[in-house]
Amino acid sequence: MMIEALVGLCLVGALVVFFAPDEYAGKLAFGWSLLPLALSALMYLNFDGRGNALLGGSLAFEEQFTWIALGPYELTWFMGLDGISMPLVVLSTLLTTLAILSAWTPIDERRNQFYGLVLFLEGSLIGVFGALDFFVWFVFWEAVLIPMYFLVGIWGGARRKYAAIKFFVYTNIASLVLFIGFFGLVFGLGDSISSLALPEIATALRAGELGPLAGGLIVPEQLRLLAFVAMFIGFGVKVPIVPFHTWLPDAHVEAPTPISVLLAGVLLKMGTYALLRFNFTMLPETARSLAVPIAAVAVISVIYGALLALGQSDLKRIVAYSSVSSMGYVILGLVAYTSYGIGGATFQMVSHGLISGLMFACVGVIYNVTHTREVGDMAGLADEMPLTVGALVAGAFAYAGLPLMAGFAAEFFIFVGAFQSTVIAGNGMAVMTALAMFGIVIVAGYLLWAMQRSLFGPFRFDGDYEVTRAARHDIAPLVVLIVVIIALGTFPNDTFFRMITDAVGPLVDGATAEAALGTGGGSP
């Protein structure tokens, strides 16, 4: 019942904070958020899962019982964690606590409602990473939209309503598309499954139990392809990948900075996590057959996202487009279908969550003091805000892949795994990887440009506010994130990477075996 206790703590905390006096809401929410953070840390220290959750692995903190019947299918309350989901649960609880602390300065109205929604968001995110029945998972998946819509639409910037509606419409349509794709597979499996439990569905699909649909009009191979594309688009919007990325900069710019921390740090990982669980685990041979276009999408996202960041002058937009670029590396690692590739992609989810959280938090601290994010409006901030600027420089170096930081370890694993990959004939995957590596050069270029313009040189500020040093509660999250980023980069195996590769192993071995047999996932 550990996962249920974790979700329950968040939801009860949301209710308590929502009705608490406004002046105490921030401190109450922070104190309460320490409870799920401590519980997730305890779960991490006692994690004993083995293998992959969808491929017959031994789950940690497993809980399963029949819930209700939906036609011929049983809906089960099925929760459990493996080495892929455990790090993301810890990431969610850590970033939520730090986001709440960083919100003390900028959030000055309707605090109880704001912090209540943040805790509700945390519980929904944990549910997404812990649920192993599609119906339960989809409830949590959709529940995430509710607090995000209000957090952006009420506490955001001048164009907050536009950004909130755009976010809601994009992601809601994407949910419909992925839902249709997934249930196409469910109906194609027919009597071979009796529930919507994800391990049962994954096992049936990989065993070749998929039959024709629509009276034989859609044969199994076509159904696999159509379902894969539908789910890839649905999850790709959440990632987001190019060309479905346009909602992200608007949401980031208009959202309050603590919500940008959670949006980039955790919500984007919902998309890559779902791609790994559904597309690349359930339909491995379809993924391998589409390796060229998927790798092309990854490379385009890396390069195009980096070039868009290069053309921005708003610090938030720069970091937002950086996320598009970074998520491209995750897609590249997933499609490589090697232990280092998929393992590195999962490690990159955690790494990018921490680094993007740090970057947005730093931008937020600067905005709290200067009330501007425009690079051209300020210069020489290093002398006035040395701790904040030092943290921002550290985050930029982590983004650019400085050794001994989490970004370097994640990208190194991805590149090694991608170069080893044979999913594209000849040296195709090596060429794609080399092109993606060029994105690092662009990342370094735009980050150095932005820092040189705004942080160094003679002090200049074109605003009406006095530039002072940030409060301690604003600096504390930056310090914590830097320490964790360095710890993951210095000791990747001793933190998350070993448990990740253990969960990735069955997926890679299974795909390799199917390719060798030439089954293509099995067709009746």
Residue-wise pLDDT tens digits, 309-362: 888 888 999 999 989 999 999 999 999 999 999 999 999 999 999 999 999 999
Whether residue 159 is predicted with pLDDT greater than 80 in this model: the reply is yes
Report yes or no on 248 lying in a domain.
no
> What is the spatial distance between Cα 516 and Cα 313, in angstroms, rounded to a whole number?
50
Tokens of 334: 């997933």
- Give the model confidence (pLDDT) of 381-437 as tens digits: 988 899 999 999 999 999 988 999 999 999 999 999 999 999 998 888 999 999 999
Report yes or no on 447 lying in a domain.
yes
* Vertex 172 angle, CA 201 and 77, to 5°: 35
| pLDDT bracket for residue 459 (50, 70, 90) | confident
- Mean pLDDT lowest for which of 174-188, 432-446, 484-498? 432-446
Give the 3-state secondary structure of 196-255.
CEHHHHHHHHHCCCCCCECCCCECHHHHHHHHHHHHHHHHHHHCCCCCCCCHHHHHHHHC
> What is the spatial distance between Cα 10 and Cα 118, in angstroms, rounded to a whole number?
9
- Give the model confidence (pLDDT) of 82-103 as tens digits: 999 999 999 999 999 999 999 9
Residues 6+ apart with CB under 8 A from 505: 51, 52, 339
Strand residue runs (E) in 300-448: 378-379
Average per-residue pLDDT for the chain:
92
Report yes or no on 59 lying in a domain.
no
- Give the model confidence (pLDDT) of 104-118 as tens digits: 999 999 999 999 999
Q: What pLDDT score does 510 carry?
A: 58
Whether residue 517 is predicted with pLDDT greater than 50 in this model: the reply is no
Report yes or no on 273 lying in a domain.
no
Residue 473 CB burial class (10 angstroms; 0-12, 13-18, ≥19): middle
Report yes or no on 271 lying in a domain.
no
Report yes or no on 396 lying in a domain.
yes
CB-CB contact of 53 with 133 (8 Å)? no
Percent of the chain with pLDDT over 70: 97
Q: Which of 283, 240, 229, 255 is nearest to 117 (CA)?
A: 255
Other CB atoms within a 10 A radius of the CB of residue 370 amount to 22
Report yes or no on 437 lying in a domain.
yes
Q: Which of 331, 323, 326 is nearest to 360 (CA)?
A: 323
Report yes or no on 298 lying in a domain.
yes
Q: In the chain, what's the furthest Cα-to-Cα distance?
A: 73
> What is the spatial distance between Cα 69 and Cα 83, in angstroms, rounded to a whole number?
30
Residues 6+ apart with CB under 8 A from 182: 134, 227, 230, 231, 278
Whether residue 218 is predicted with pLDDT greater than 50 in this model: the reply is yes
Whether residue 515 is predicted with pLDDT greater than 70 in this model: the reply is no
CB-CB contact of 145 with 168 (8 Å)? yes
Residue range(s) defining the domain that contains residue 489: 290-512
Domain total of the chain: 1
Please, which residues bridge with residue 75 across strands? 68
Whether residue 521 is predicted with pLDDT greater than 50 in this model: the reply is no
